[in-house]
Chains A and B, each alone.
Chain A
Amino acid sequence: MSHLFEAEDLIVNVRRVGNAVDSVNLSLDAGEMVGLVGESGCGKTLTAYSIIGLLPDGVSASGRVRFEGNEYDLARPNQLRPLRGGSIAMVSQDPLTAMNPVARIGSQLDDVMRRHLNLNRRQRETRVLDLLDRVGIPSPRRVARAYPFELSGGMRQRALIAMAISCQPRLLIADEPTTALDSTVQAQIMELLAALVAEDGLAMLLITHNLGLVAQYCTRMCVMYAGEVVEQGRSEAVLERPAHPYSRALVDCLASLDADVARLATIEGVVPPVGSGLPGCRYADRCRFVQPGCRSEHPTLLPVRDGRAAACLRVDDIEREVDMNAGMQA
């Protein structure tokens, strides 16, 4: 079966430094929210920007994207331009920098629609209000006339989402959409995004460092580490019993904040810098299950239980060990 969106062998190269994203494969179907998680510097944001063909100078991408039956070459960002803002939209972390500070919300929405949709002025005007209403803005008329700085962070993020969905995209990329927001507002925005996915059949790629959001809203997830996907699968399965030692450690870090513990679980060490050229597993230096073989042989993403895939040479050993420990404790 073919997916709505597929990226194959996605590589993002930072000139003179190395590959910040290495051989990543991603797929999304309509009506699903997929989480792309990892710590800062793991390449998740660059992955997203390479998909829409917006990379800064000195950074280039390669790989193939299949979207709605067409194929695109990521090495030619211009091919992707017609999709951007139309069929593929983006919501970024900081709406204040993503918006034009001196244009009213309504006219910014209007601008976007004028470019991608064939509507007359009257129709666009109605649609602006409909969209603002759709994203849960209580007084659309007032907000349409407002400037971005006059709105609260949550309202701005809603307006940005309105802008993103204005041209009926099929794929929405949300890059840390709620990181700058308070937790009660974060919950509101996530509910809104989840509703868009469920009701309008959007496919959404949620880029976040917040595993909790993924657990609550995403059907599937990819865990990235040092530019590579190290584990992917149904988010419930990945989070309840992570297969890769890195996802396991991440989940432990977070879960210990929910439990009453004297010390939190941590991951010692740091992410290897881009272009380190490690021949083996990039997580080896921080991994508590590391064996000599891990440093020489590079693990590939292979299927493990529950329809998941993990890139670890010792997946089975670790599984057995953990089961044994669990058995001993019981």
Chain B
Amino acid sequence: MTAPLLDVQGVSKAFPIRRGGSVHALRNVDLTIGEGEAVGIIGESGSGKSTLARIVVGLEQASAGRVRFGDTYIDTLRPAARRKIQRNIQMVFQDSRASMNPRMHIADIVAEPLVTHRLPVNRSIIIELLERVGLGERYANLFPHQLSGGQRQRAAIARAVSVRPKLIVADEPVSALDISVQAQVLNLLKSLQEEFGTAFLFVSHDLGVVRFFCDRVSVLYLGETLETGLTQPLLAAPEHPYTRALASSVPTVRSAARRERIVLHGELPSPENPPSGCSFHPRCPERIGAVCSTVDPMQFRTRAGTAKCHLLDRRVIGDLTT
């Protein structure tokens, strides 16, 4: 197999805090994305999913581990070289309004990556981009606040695809939008992905959105990857109890699609001192015993990919039954 486009190797991130100690936002996370592949990161707030996205685009530095893009380790690049690489790694933010300079016209905002990377840019190129994302020429000379949330996110997407990057990191790109607009924007992203063959790192808390958009998915909890694998089989039959709970907690409209609800107790423990053993054990409805609170589970193969849970360890299960 050829080298993946993005290879995140054992990345950890600890934020020092004022009263001493540190918050472990990410702990030894691996992630690969192939050319043109869409990989989803699912997690609740505090899971570290946004931190991972920010490390990939260079807004944060990893405390440990490496990040390779193509055949370059981008985590240790000097600023000038890193800026050059960014031509191939663009980002779509959750808050489109905040991500745009309020004093710039939409046309200039969309043109910025092209200008930055010294690519040809003129009015017709910008108009073409705007039209591609479903905005007409009349939006070119408007300011961001004059657009609706959905239109702004379209403009943000036009900005991201303008330089035809190999990877787009999208951090909750549709979670601020209304359901009908959300669907429009997701369809747009999907068609662009198919057209340009762009790879995506797609961060979301919404399983439905990830299911629609992503080929593979990683489930993050307290900065750890608990389960990874191909989206369809993983979400259809999650093997990690956390993924199961997460999937069941999404309310669905049609009664046919409804699963048995698993309501987790308690809340996300403090990432300042994560639980011993399996980090999910304090809330796990399927906890099997002392092993969960003492031993850190290994990664086990599943049908969809891998999961990090003692339930999957034949030895532990065997001990229990005998």
Contacts and interface: CB of A to CB of B under 8 A. Distances in A.
Q: Do these two chains really belong together in a complex?
A: yes
Interface of A: 39-40, 138, 152-155, 182-188, 190-191, 209-213, 215-216, 236, 239-240, 249-251, 253-258, 260-268, 270
Pairs A-B, 3 closest by C-beta atoms = A212-B251, A257-B208, A182-B44
B148 interface: yes
A183 B251 CA distance: 9
Given A182-B45, A258-B254, A270-B148, A155 B267 contact: yes
Interface in B195-241: 205-209, 211-212, 232
Nearest to B207: A183
Contact of A240 (B44, B252, B255, B266): B255
A132 to B, nearest CB: 15
Q: Looking at B249, B251, B253, B264, which has the most chain A CB atoms within 10 Å of its CB? A: B253
B187 A266 contact: yes
A187 B254 contact: no
A226 to B, nearest CB: 13
Contacts of A240: 254-255
A264 B253 contact: no
A184 B246 contact: yes
B81 interface: no
16 contacts: A40-B178, A183-B44, A185-B267, A187-B249, A188-B263, A188-B264, A188-B265, A209-B178, A209-B179, A250-B180, A253-B180, A257-B212, A258-B211, A260-B211, A264-B183, A266-B180
Given A39-B179, A155-B267, A188-B264, A212 B212 contact: no
Nearest to B263: A187
Contacts of A152: 267-268
Interface residues of B, number: 39
B252 A215 contact: yes
A181 B149 CA distance: 21
Interface of B: 44-45, 148, 178-184, 186-187, 190, 205-209, 211-212, 232, 245-246, 249-255, 257-258, 261, 263-268
A213 B255 CA distance: 12
A263 B264 CA distance: 32
A236 B45 contact: no
A182 B205 contact: yes
A249 B183 CA distance: 11
Contacts of A187: 249, 261, 263-264
Given A216-B251, A257-B212, A258-B252, A268 B184 contact: yes
Contact of A215 (B182, B183, B208, B251): B251
A43 to B, nearest CB: 14
A153 B21 CA distance: 23
Nearest to A216: B251
Contacts of A210: 251
B249 A191 contact: no
Contacts of A261: 212
Q: Looking at A153, A184, A210, A262, which has the most chain B CB atoms within 10 Å of its CB? A: A184
Contacts of A182: 44-45, 205, 268
Given A183-B246, A215-B255, 13 more contacts: A39-B178, A183-B207, A215-B251, A215-B254, A215-B258, A216-B261, A236-B255, A250-B179, A253-B182, A261-B212, A263-B187, A264-B186, A266-B183
